[in-house]
Amino acid sequence: MASQPDRDTPHLRNLWYFALPGAKLKRAKMTDTVLLGEPILLARDSQGQPFAIRNICPHRGIPLTHGRFDGAEVECGYHGWRFNGEGRCTAIPSLTEDQKLDVNRIKVRRYPCREVQGNIWVFFGDEDRDTGYPPEVPDIGDQKPKLVETQVFACEVDHAVVGLMDPAHGPYVHAAWWWRSRRSMHEKAKTFAPAPLGFQMVRHKPSSNSAGYKVLGGEISTEITFKLPGVRVEHIRAGQHVLCNLTAVTPTGEGTTLVNHAIYWTQPWLTPLTPVFRRFAKTFLGQDRVMVTKQQEGLRYNPNLMLINDADTQAKWYYRLKKEWQRCQTEGGDFVNPVKETVLRWRS
């Protein structure tokens, strides 16, 4: 059975999005980005707290990142208006003593911003509909990631997400002796269950064609969870230890998507291998990025696309989850997870 993916659905609101690896934002520094089509100034104050405000000066519209940040307030580079981390204006230098303008009433939009397990997340939506917390990786406490690989994909967010959860591209896109190849392809059956705002490939022993897992040592099992808006957590148990891959997809501007891949582990002996893991992450993500770039050459002609059983069932769930989230946001009511427990079978 084939079906046509939904096109052009708006970005999901009232959710937390991965903005930046925390290590990329030093104390008393600011940086500019575009997330969900909105210009954002991300900064870390001198106490170490990150914040996010709209990167447009309300006076004449210049991006505030062209100004200065002293670790507490941002000063616009054009006329020196100052804004604090709440986005509130604190000073307009051109005002004379007797000119009574309540500068505090001038604001730039502030976005809820949190740093969790070493990554900075921003909430997009109505603050009073904030459903809680950015996604967390289980069993690693407040550890920071050992490494984060960031790449920009030249595609809409849906293609990046669907590409990440696609089980059939591995032997073609990521073929490698230590991972998998066409010759090692075999039939697989995996049990899936609904999970909060998503679904989960329930804990199982990894495929026999994934030699890469062996370096972890101990009895190995893995569980993969996907959650809206586009966050995948692979939780690998290896004996007493844990290795987790967090992949988060965030739409940026027109037709581009930010993909962040963070790796955490508790095995101390893996730490000297960090450069090797970094290389693998770069290669892996790069292979996906190259593929979606090539895909754009075809998508330009707006072809009909297919989602087939069972290899594309996770992609179908993603579109259904999105639709249900949208319904909830517009009509209200509880989110009803459309995923039912099931076994999916494919060859890879």
Residue 294 touches which of ligand FES, Fe ion, none (CB < 5 to 8 A by kind)?
Answer: none
DSSP state of 129: G
Smaller CB distance to ligand FES: residue 76 or 161?
76
Residues 277-296 that bind Fe ion (CB under 5 A): 288
Smaller CB distance to ligand FES: residue 28 or 103?
103
Q: How far is the CB of 68 from ligand FES (least distance, A)?
A: 12
How far apart CA 300 and CA 82 sit, in angstroms, is 44
Smaller CB distance to Fe ion: residue 16 or 153?
153
Residues 134 and 121: beta-carbon distance below 8 Å: yes
Smaller CB distance to Fe ion: residue 45 or 288?
288
Q: How far is the CB of 318 from Fe ion (least distance, A)?
A: 15
Smaller CB distance to ligand FES: residue 55 or 225?
55
Strands in 110-111's sheet, in edge-to-edge order, are 29-35, 38-44, 50-54, 110-111
Helix (H) or strand (E) holding 33: strand 29-35
Which CA distances in Å does 255 have to 36, 153, 197? 10, 9, 25
Q: How far is the CB of 90 from ligand FES (least distance, A)?
A: 12
Q: How far is the CB of 18 from Fe ion (least distance, A)?
A: 18
Q: How far is the CB of 77 from Fe ion (least distance, A)?
A: 41
Smaller CB distance to ligand FES: residue 41 or 270?
41
Residue 144 touches which of Fe ion, ligand FES, none (CB < 5 to 8 A by kind)?
Answer: none
| Residue 310, amino acid | D
DSSP string of 217-236, one letter each residue: -SSEEEEEEEETTTEEEEEE
Q: How far is the CB of 10 from Fe ion (least distance, A)?
A: 26
How far apart CA 229 and CA 186 sit, in angstroms, is 31
Residue 288 touches which of ligand FES, Fe ion, none (CB < 5 to 8 A by kind)?
Answer: Fe ion
DSSP string of 54-78, one letter each residue: ESS-TTT---GGGSEE-SSEEE-TT
Give the CA radius of gyration of the chain.
Answer: 22
Residue 79 touches which of Fe ion, ligand FES, none (CB < 5 to 8 A by kind)?
Answer: ligand FES
Strands in 15-21's sheet, in edge-to-edge order, are 15-21, 119-124, 113-116
Q: How far is the CB of 33 from ligand FES (least distance, A)?
A: 19
Q: How far is the CB of 169 from Fe ion (least distance, A)?
A: 6
Smaller CB distance to Fe ion: residue 149 or 288?
288
Smaller CB distance to ligand FES: residue 78 or 172?
78
Residue 273 touches which of Fe ion, ligand FES, none (CB < 5 to 8 A by kind)?
Answer: none
Nearest C-alpha neighbor of 46 from the set 76, 70, 64:
70
How far apart CA 323 and CA 278 sit, in angstroms, is 35
Residue 60 touches which of ligand FES, Fe ion, none (CB < 5 to 8 A by kind)?
Answer: ligand FES
Residue 149 touches which of Fe ion, ligand FES, none (CB < 5 to 8 A by kind)?
Answer: none
Query: Which residues bind to ligand FES, rule: CB under 6 A?
Result: 57, 59-60, 62, 76, 78-79, 81
Nearest C-alpha neighbor of 85 from the set 116, 124, 37, 42:
42
Binding site for Fe ion (CB under 5 A): 288
